Amino acid sequence: MIIDVHAHTFPAKIASHALGVLSSNSHTRPFTDGTIPGLSESMSESGITCTIIQPVATKPEQVMRINDTAMKINSEGESTGIYSFGGIHPFFEDCYGELVRISEAGIKGVKIHPVYQGLNIDDERYARILKIAGELGLIVMIHAGWDIGFPGDDSALPVRIARVLDVCDCRVILAHMGGWRCWNESAELFAGRENVYVDTAFSLGRFYPNDDGYYQGDDECGMLSDDEFVRMIHDFGSERVIFGTDSPWSSQKDCVKEFMSLPLDDNGKQNILCNNASKLLGYNTRKILSEENLCQAKC
């Protein structure tokens, strides 16, 4: 059983346009068409059993619509294997009320993305969101580190995230191994924090540019080497690393293959590929995360 805790989809009517804009901004190519059917097909090809969509509210007025969609996706999750976190925006008028609504609907967590939301993660607005989430038992997925589409934006660097975590008691998943292309700082700042998990999304091996010539050579497209990646897993412990792909910006199939080739023991791989996410998220589904299957899971 394999759980991908970090993927993205878009409504079918805007998926093509959204992927085009994001691909142009990041100079990277997508591996699906950005829709839920496209994600489902990718899961089948890669052997992934369950995927969690991480929606980003780029404007406050998107929040309720995103969460209504997440509720619908989750209502079908037992049959599709696809679930969704909720979204929240720091400038949304009633963050408390919406986080309560999310919690009461059974959504397991929310995604925040300081770069796309135009606010530093150590702002008091985010601190309030994390505090409320902690009170409600919600998990917060945070984009961490640089963003490939916004060079120079430092709003989600590990040092800023550490400041807000100092004043919040909340379980968080820091995307991209705790900070994209800030991996040394991530290990130094977060490896000792028990409430911090990191996901593997868009961090291993290399990324794939589109054909616009922006990136010159493989050196510019490199991420963590196998040795560096394994070292970070040892720093955090395999119990606090969760498999993610950032689909459609990485190939789920290739991510599984690359991860399985790493020199980790079977217990560590199983923790990262399925056990940690299932324990943290607690989805109660017969097909995907039944107690019997969890005990017998062979990643």
Strands 50-53 and 3-7: parallel
Q: What is the model's pLDDT at position 74?
A: 97
Tokens describing residue 21: 């804009």
Q: How many domains does the chain have?
A: 1
Percent of the chain at pLDDT > 70 equals: 94
Instruction: Give the model confidence (pLDDT) of 147-182 as tens digits.
Output: 999 999 999 999 999 999 999 999 999 999 999 999
Query: What pLDDT was estimated at residue 282?
Result: 83
Residue of 118, 188, 131 whose CA lies nearest to 164? 131
- Full-model pTM: 0.94
For residue 261, give the amino acid letter. Answer: S
pLDDT reading at 298 higher than 70: no
Q: 238 and 198 in contact (C-beta within 8 Å)?
A: no
The domain that holds 186 is classified in CATH as 3.20.20.140
Mean pLDDT of 243-259: 98
Angular region, 297: left φ>0, alpha ψ -120 to 50, beta rest? beta
Q: pLDDT value at position 283?
A: 63
- In which domain, by residue range, is 190 found? 3-296
Q: How far is CA 175 from the centre of its chain?
A: 5
Model confidence pLDDT, tens digit, residues 28-82 = 999 999 999 999 999 999 999 999 999 999 999 999 999 999 999 999 999 999 9
Looking at the predicted structure, is the pLDDT value of residue 143 above 50?
yes
The pLDDT, as a whole number, for residue 175 is 98
